[in-house]
């Protein structure tokens, strides 16, 4: 049985997880190296390539910095083989869901504001005695108010 806890296994695990996290983040090896240089490390694209190939060890402080540059955690870089890719998919889907929820909440607020404006405009037109002159526009506004509402429609 192969030892998956020794230094060689740890190096390969870090290599595979770093590459998966970097690619998931959409970063090139050069972009990661540049980020590391900005943090004070003497890294080049070749350094990242050697780490990802399992040909270079990564010190603890380097791993923390790499995780920061890539936008992940040191825990992600140390995950057992195969776990990082699944974890990255879950985190990505969760981020997308949060973003979509925020967008939907913002759209719902804009919709409520627009409905209030429409209701006030319709009321004003009626109060100003323009119901006859603006009959088509008032009917269009009323149809809009009677239409389906966000989140309440059927699939």
Asked whether the predicted pLDDT for residue 155 surpasses 90, the reply is no
Share of the chain above pLDDT 70, in %: 92
Fold of 7-81: 434 Repressor (Amino-terminal Domain) (1.10.260)
What length does the chain have?
Answer: 155
Rounded average pLDDT over 11-29: 93
DSSP for 110-139, please give it: HHHHHHHHHHHHHHHHHHTT-TTTTHHHHH
Average per-residue pLDDT for the chain? 90
Structure tokens at 115: 């409905």
DSSP for 37-79, please give it: HHTT----HHHHHHHHTT-S---HHHHHHHHHHHTS-HHHHTP
Q: DSSP letter at 72?
A: S
Neighbours of 18 (CB within 10 A): 25
The pLDDT value given to residue 65: 97
The pLDDT value given to residue 80: 86
| Overall pTM > 0.75 | no
Determine the straight-line distance between the first and last CA of the chain, rounded to whole angstroms. 53
From CA 152, how far away is CA 111, in angstroms rounded? 13
Query: Is residue 150 very low, low, confident or very high in pLDDT (cuts 50, 70, 90)?
Result: low
**Domain-wise residue ranges, the chain:** 7-81, 100-146
């Amino acid at each position: 049985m192969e030892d998956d806890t020794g230094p060689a296994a740890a190096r390969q695990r870090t290599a595979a997880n770093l590459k998966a996290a970097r690619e998931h983040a959409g970063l090139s090896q050069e972009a990661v190296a540049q980020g590391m240089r900005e943090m004070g490390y003497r890294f080049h694209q070749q350094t990242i390539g050697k780490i990802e190939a399992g040909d270079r060890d990564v010190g603890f402080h380097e791993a923390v910095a790499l995780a920061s540059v890539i936008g992940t955690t040191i825990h992600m870089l140390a995950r057992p083989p195969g776990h990082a890719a699944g974890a990255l998919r879950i985190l990505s889907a969760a981020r997308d869901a949060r973003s979509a929820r925020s967008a939907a909440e913002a759209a719902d607020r804009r919709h409520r504001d627009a409905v209030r404006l429409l209701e006030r405009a319709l009321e004003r037109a009626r109060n100003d005695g323009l119901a006859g002159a603006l009959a088509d526009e008032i009917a269009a506004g009323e149809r809009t108010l009677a239409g389906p509402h966000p989140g309440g429609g059927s699939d």
